[in-house]
Copies of this chain bind each other. A is one copy, B any other.
């Protein structure tokens, strides 16, 4: 099965564009989990048990696991095993923001796609397609390229104007569409905090899925995001929410409410 088929299938069966960010920062876990032997893994299974019906995808950010060294890495692996056994149809995204030169990327390909078994990974574009080829070659996996990120300072490099008239982030979107997406497995990261830029990227890339961080805690607006980013079949978006759901008292209700809110704004 290709990545695109898995994503489309789960999107239809769940009727959800919601991705829950498993950003399970140890210091922020509820006290009852902090005392356990495998706090991040136990917390994640608790969140997954409550929210799975409302999500198209889960997205752990690897920084929160690496912060605990080998122990964190092991609990991330256990979380993936849990998802694969209980919910094999849910898309799993490694928010790893990797990218090295060609040969070296094989280590990350092995680690993220094969050992941990993620369906997709977030990638920096700076080294170019040639460097990312080991990721791009995997038709069964998704390559989610950072394009316009959600952070306040993302414009420092991404908004620079090229001599062609395009901004750097517009050129990245153009390059991915025209050159990198030969295997139909590329997506773009586009922050919810920049709806005007999202509109432009949607024009450049009418058929690519966007992974959208920045809803909720970072200030992105759901209605504006869906209006700016949906494609002409009312999808093409994976909207991530992390802290707003996983650290809520009732993650099940929060996930369900956000899934429904997103769907209200979809026009198709």
Contact = CB atoms under 8 A, between A and B. Distances in A.
Interface string A147-175: 00111111111101111010010011001
Interface stretch (A1-9, A106-114, A223-231): A106-114
B156 A175 contact: yes
A69 interface: yes
A53 interface: no
Contacts of A102: 151
B126 A126 contact: yes
Nearest to A65: B107
A175 B158 CA distance: 13
Interface of A: 23, 25, 61, 63-71, 73-74, 77, 95, 97-102, 104-108, 110-111, 115-116, 124-131, 146, 149-158, 160-163, 165, 168, 171-172, 175, 213
Contacts of A99: 97, 124
B126 A153 contact: no
Given A70-B74, A172-B157, A63 B151 contact: no
Contacts of A128: 151, 153-158
A63 B105 contact: yes
**8 closest residue pairs by CB, A with B:** A130-B153, A63-B107, A128-B156, A128-B153, A67-B107, A66-B111, A70-B70, A101-B151
Given A108-B63, A163-B163, A101 B149 contact: yes
A194 to B, nearest CB: 13
Nearest to A161: B163
A130 to B, nearest CB: 3
A101 B95 CA distance: 11
- Which of A23, A66, A102 counts the most chain B CB atoms within 10 A? A66
Given A151-B131, A153-B130, A161 B162 contact: yes
